[in-house]
Structure 1
Amino acid sequence: MASTGLQMLGLVLVIAGWAFEILVCAVPWWRVSAFVGDELVVSQVLWEGLWMTCLSQWGRLQCKVYDSGLALSGSAQMCRTLCVVSLLLCLLALPLIITGLKCTRCLGDAQESKSRLVRIGAIVFLVAAFFFLIPISWTAYVVVRDFYDPNVAAALKRELGPALYLGWCVTVLMLVGGALLYLGSASPGVPPMPAFGKGVKGNPPSTGTESKPDKVFV
């Protein structure tokens, strides 16, 4: 049977995960400049995100949106696209989940239909979490790869930004929330199917109108 407690806990987790996902996608803290040369510069820090770059210098922060999205690398465009798709999937799943919650009256007493809506919304949230995990993990892989690549100049090396660590936590939050929603809306069970091909137990009741066989005289 559907569990209201699991549904509400899962709903809180997925909404919190979606809100933090919007924050992670918007902030420019995905990559931060790494100074690995002989001279360590601490007065200037460059932050890079999906939509803008920010330069922190002597306590002042100056941000600039990328001039053209088409001028970005294919990796950055893929990360942008997957993040937007993930956010749209969450936006699609939320009305399904809220409509199908056991504590709502949207569909009346049709509990099976409501549970099915919640399960569909939970699956959509799990897919959205997977789409969000790809750009986070791919960006981390590229940063680490370039950091240890001797062919990359020291000025171009980057380190993992705090948004990537927050993104991994957000992914776990969405996965746990989606799983709780799905488990909290488990089907009450399918009624047993009728057995075919087996003998019928007992004789049907007699109505008294059955015709008796005629006697045959030889």
Structure 2
Amino acid sequence: MASTASEIIAFMVSISGWVLVSSTLPTDYWKVSTIDGTVITTATYWANLWKTCVTDSTGVSNCKDFPSMLALDGYIQACRGLMIAAVSLGFFGSIFALFGMKCTKVGGSDKAKAKIACLAGIVFILSGK
């Protein structure tokens, strides 16, 4: 009974980690900088992994998608790749973990479920959570 409860808790923690990583992917404010005037802030520059935007002091925003994948800085390309890999591997790791749990009927015998659970653990480690 204790192992079933710990499996369910670990599965819920892994799902919540996957949701949190997935929710940071479209976040707008990865990098923010401002240009200050003498009295007021005249412009705010902010960027994420997909676009860059400028907001002036009146609140008007102008956004522009990155024009080319090859023209980006190396750290943005690396962040994009690592985030997409983490979301993808986390999804497949969750599926494998669900099939490898003792309380599910899918996955076959206990020996096969243990192998699937080990595969899920390896996938979660590779995803960086």
Same fold (TM over 0.5): yes
Does the CA-based 8 Å contact 1:28-1:54 persist in structure 2?
A: no
Distance 2:15 2:43 in 1: 36
TM-score, length basis structure 2? 0.81
SS in 2 for 1:26: coil
Match of 1:56 in 2: 55
- Specify every segment of 5 or more residues in structure 1 that has no aligned partner in the other structure, as ranges: 130-173, 175-218
SS in 1 for 2:125: helix
Change (3 A) 1:87 1:63: same
Match of 1:66 in 2: 66
Shift of 1:48: 1.0
> Which structure features the higher share of strand residues?
2
SS in 1 for 2:25: helix
TM-score, length basis structure 1? 0.51
Match of 2:103 in 1: 103
Change (3 A) 1:95 1:2: farther
Shift of 1:105: 0.2
SS in 1 for 2:41: coil
> Percent identity at matched positions?
29
Q: How many residues align?
A: 128
More divergent stretch after superposition (61-70 vs 90-99): 61-70
Residue by residue, what CA displacement relative to the aligned partner does 1:105-162 show, whole Å, maximum 9, x if unpaired?
0134x22321331232122112212xxxxxxxxxxxxxxxxxxxxxxxxxxxxxxxxx
Any residues of structure 2 matched to 1:1-218 within 5 Å, and which?
Answer: 3-35=3-35, 39=38, 41-57=40-56, 58-108=58-108, 110-129=109-128, 174=129
Shift of 1:87: 1.6
Change (3 A) 1:101 1:90: same
Structure of greater relative contact order (alpha carbons < 8 Å, 6+ residues apart): 1
Does the CA-based 8 Å contact 1:100-1:117 persist in structure 2?
A: yes
When the two chains are superposed, the root-mean-square deviation of aligned CA atoms in Å is 2.5
